Amino acid sequence: MTTVELTRFRAARADALLAARPAMLRDFESDRTGFLGARLIRVGEDEWLDIVYWRTPEDFAESRRRGGDRPGIQAFFELIDELISSEEGTTTDIAGP
């Protein structure tokens, strides 16, 4: 099973958000133990769902503790206007992300 982070948020500046995404992902890939990948889904005009996959709940907890401590991550986080919800779950299928 894989730990899944589900974060729903509002960000009005879609172009800037999408431009900042690759640097954020590079920071996660190079500096976050257990990061497996992520999908960003637009669910409304300015509403987004970020689905992030982690190897373990501990990897996710450590990343959350560190927050935006890398430039690419911080730049992406700064574009979020409002956090709507944040949840954690686990995959139930064998295939994973």
DSSP string, 1-26: --EEEEEEEE-S-HHHHHHHHHHHHH
pLDDT at 34: 97
Distance, in Å, from the CA atom of 13 to the CA atom of 15, rounded to the nearest integer, reads: 6
pTM of the model: 0.91
pLDDT at 93: 74
pLDDT at 91: 93
Domains and CATH numbers, the chain: 3-86 (3.30.70.100)
Evaluate if residue 97 carries a pLDDT over 60.
no
Candidates 41, 26, 33, 39; CA nearest to 57 is 33
List pLDDT tens digits, range 40-65: 999 999 999 999 999 999 999 999 99
